[in-house]
């Protein structure tokens, strides 16, 4: 199987179009038409990880953080980014980054954190906006099911944990073929009445091209009457952060001890205690200050993330316990999650999880 085919399959599971606009995800280096000898999964594709890939005969590294984030103007090995990329290229190793595509995935980074905490009733903290569209198309009644099946196969009609969702209204359509037309039914210059269904489906915007193409391929008409609308609805199954509820509420200090145990950490930076019981918990892996206000609005009692700055601790307005558990520490389950996902999907070549240390932060206790 080629690298191109493998990353295409990964994209079906975790679409890169879910990533944030600022991010640099996808194939960062490597020739996509080479056959895959093995996959190495890691958090950061540093030089020591590339060495590990060489040793394990893995020519595709699937990493969480993109090793190339901003533009490279040269490749001379003068810094850690260039050294890693040069070594990968010299050894014919491809690097594929997934980052915020997995952050925004319902079963991604934040789902992993919530699962580790045993949270129930998990929901997206910051649902994606400007993400959903609606397609309405008019179809001869006898072709209605065929067109629906084609659109469903292309990704239309998926709403949360339901798929093949649509709404159909039957009615009478009219059209008049004019000179130059080649009508499916009727004659030129004579108005035709047709028994038609109006089919409506919702879809994620990035799927528009494939859905419209599939719909037109299945449709019998020469000219297909259809409309596409951008929806103001938020996509509550894609977005940054999650929140959920503990099985039993806890005192704040007991909650911090619980988090230390679950995450295997020695240190948690936190805001002032609020004297509230902890029941609803918000999480956002990585640098998550942007989710503080959302967590407050969701009435979370505590919020777990990393990389909080001094002034970020004021944003909770004493309504919620802020917990900075560390950037890497909040994302530490990502490699295992990706390993399980890819191992289930691919069985024809070796998939390994990196054992190299890439967390640059150390603690003196």
Q: Binding site for a divalent metal cation, residues?
A: 65, 103, 327, 331
Number of alpha carbons in the 13 Å side-chain half-sphere of residue 313: 12
- E-strand stretches of the chain: 26-29, 38-44, 60-65, 94-97, 120-128, 132-140, 167-175, 192-204, 226-230, 235-250, 269-270, 278-287, 302-306, 321-324, 350-353
Is there a contact between 105 and 238 (Cβ–Cβ < 8 Å)?
yes
Measured CA to CA, the distance from residue 278 to residue 298 in angstroms comes to: 14
Question: How does DSSP assign 171-195, residue by residue?
Answer: EEEEE---TT---SSS-TTS-EEEE
Could you tell me the two tokens for 340? 């399980």
Is there a contact between 363 and 260 (Cβ–Cβ < 8 Å)?
no
Measured CA to CA, the distance from residue 288 to residue 110 in angstroms comes to: 11
Output the known binding site: 65, 103, 327, 331
Maximum distance among all alpha carbons in the chain? 87
Measured CA to CA, the distance from residue 342 to residue 10 in angstroms comes to: 8
């Amino acid at each position: 199987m080629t690298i191109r085919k493998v990353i295409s399959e990964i994209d079906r599971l975790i679409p890169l179009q879910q990533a944030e606009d600022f991010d640099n995800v996808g194939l960062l280096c490597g020739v996509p038409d080479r056959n895959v000898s093995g996959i190495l999964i890691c958090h950061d594709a540093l030089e020591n990880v590339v060495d590990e890939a060489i040793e394990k005969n893995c020519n595709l590294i699937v990493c969480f953080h993109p090793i190339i984030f901003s533009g490279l103007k040269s490749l001379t090995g003068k810094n850690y980014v260039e050294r890693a990329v040069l070594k990968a290229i010299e050894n014919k190793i491809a690097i594929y980054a997934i980052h915020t595509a997995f952050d925004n995935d319902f079963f991604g980074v934040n789902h992993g954190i919530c699962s580790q905490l045993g949270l129930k009733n998990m929901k997206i903290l910051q649902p994606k906006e400007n993400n959903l569209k609606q397609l309405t198309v008019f179809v001869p009644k006898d072709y209605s099911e065929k067109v629906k099946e084609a659109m469903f196969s292309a990704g239309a009609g998926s709403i949360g944990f339901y798929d093949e969702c649509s709404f159909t209204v039957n009615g009478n359509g009219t059209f008049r073929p004019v000179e130059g037309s080649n009508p499916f039914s009727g004659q030129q210059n004579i108005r035709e009445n047709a028994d038609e269904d109006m089919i409506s489906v919702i879809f994620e915007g990035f799927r528009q091209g494939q859905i419209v193409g599939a719909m037109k391929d299945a449709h019998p008409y020469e000219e297909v009457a259809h409309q596409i609308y951008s929806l103001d609805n938020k996509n509550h199954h894609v977005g940054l952060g999650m929140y959920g509820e503990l099985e039993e509420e806890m005192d704040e200090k007991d909650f911090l001890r619980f988090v230390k145990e679950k995450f295997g950490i020695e240190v948690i930076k936190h805001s002032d205690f609020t004297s509230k019981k902890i029941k609803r918990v918000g999480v956002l892996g990585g640098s998550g200050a942007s989710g503080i206000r959302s967590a407050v609005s969701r009435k979370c009692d505590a919020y777990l993330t990393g990389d909080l700055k001094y002034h970020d601790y004021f944003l909770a307005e004493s309504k919620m316990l802020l917990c900075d558990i560390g950037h890497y520490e909040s994302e530490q389950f990502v490699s295992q999650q990706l390993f399980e996902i890819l191992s289930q999907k691919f069985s024809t070549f070796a998939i390994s999880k990196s054992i190299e240390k890439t967390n640059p932060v150390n603690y003196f206790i």
